[in-house]
Amino acid sequence: MDLVNHLTDRLLFAVPKKGRLQQAALDLLNGSDIQFRRETRLDIALVRNLPIALIFLPAADIPTFVGEGRVDIGITGRDQVEEHAATTPISSEEQGVEEILDLGFGKCKLQVQTPEKGSLNDPKDLIGRNVVTSFVGLTEAYFKELEGVSGDKKIKTNIKYVGGSVEAACALGVADGIVDLVESGETMKAAGLRAISTVVESTAILIKSKRPSNPQLVDLIASRIKGVITAQKYVLCQYNIHRSKLDVATKITPGKRAPTITTLEEEGWVALSSMVEKKQIATVMDNLEAVGASDILVLNIGNSRTG
């Protein structure tokens, strides 16, 4: 089957083909009931239950294809979107991308790093020196601003592009400092580097074209993905409490908008159901028990549609 010929009437959705964002992105698609089968060695997959084609691309390329090409929607890092904006002039109002949703995973920082045992402790110390990065646009903009603040506009920092192994540039004598993504910091420490400044804080985001071929379908996908993310972030807390304690209980579990309150057959008692962030649920249960709540149950949320 010639897949390219089947893309004409389909919304194109760009997904990272590999790297730190891919598996989380695929989990989102699965939770959103976007059903597909990716054939071996193919970077295009047709969705079976919706008029969508998934295009598997390097995360760094996705802002280009969404902002300038035929791709309608995509998942990539905010760092990649900002790098694309820093290096690509926008020739019309229809070019560029719009952020739809912060997906909450893939958090990292694009940071200026120098040798841990060196004397370069401030980003200004790198002005006029060699800095290696794969984010040339953001790095040039960052140091251009520093050069202006320090009064050294005539002294230009030498920004060099390296596509991979950026963290090795200082040890191998190519750079005095680097600008690279930091997640856990383990790779940075292993390379004998330390972070001295942050250029951009990044996370995975859902972006769309300014001229999508099917705006309604883009909105549908965004709604589904938002529902999956909400379901991953919250649990449903249910409990019984005497009506006299209702005010204090609703302050403990206010819900995303408001809790659901049901009158029980036993006089003076009500049942509450409220969404609570997973990371807070243990403390919430302790507080509810302390004010007299009983039969406290916590249920996982499979999916959601919330305001």
Between CA 282 and CA 207 the distance in angstroms is 34
Confidence (pLDDT) at 91: 64
pLDDT tens digit string along 200-239? Answer: 999 999 999 999 999 999 999 999 999 999 999 999 999 9
- Tell me: the pLDDT tens digits for 154-209? 788 999 999 888 999 999 999 999 999 999 889 899 999 999 999 999 999 999 99
Over range 39-64, report the average pLDDT: 92
Higher pLDDT residue, 31 or 92?
A: 31
**Which residues are registered as beta bridge partners of 13?**
54, 73
* Mean pLDDT score across all residues of the chain: 91
CATH topology of domain 234-300: Alpha-Beta Plaits (3.30.70)
Which CA distances in Å does 133 have to 80, 137, 167, 192?
Answer: 13, 10, 9, 17
Residue 307 confidence (pLDDT): 67
What is the per-residue pLDDT across 254-307, written as a single tens digit (0 to 9) for each?
998 889 999 999 999 999 999 999 999 999 999 999 999 999 999 999 999 886
- Percentage of residues in the chain having pLDDT higher than 70: 95
The CA distance from 138 to 298, in Å, is 45
Q: Would you place residue 121 in the very low, low, confident or very high pLDDT band (cuts 50, 70, 90)?
A: very high
CATH 3.40.190.10 domain range(s) in the chain: 3-105+204-213, 108-202
pLDDT at 1 over 50: no
What's 108-202's CATH class? Answer: alpha beta
Mean pLDDT of 92-114: 90
- Give dist(CA 256, CA 233) in Å, integer: 12
3-105+204-213 CATH fold: D-Maltodextrin-Binding Protein; domain 2 (3.40.190)
For residue 62, count other CB atoms closer than 10 A to its CB: 28
Q: Which two tokens stand for residue 255?
A: 């819900």
Residues of the chain with CATH 3.30.70.120: 234-300
Q: Bigger pLDDT: 151 or 177?
A: 177
CA dihedral 60, 30, 214, 93 (to 10 degrees): -30
Of 257 and 149, the one with more pLDDT: 257
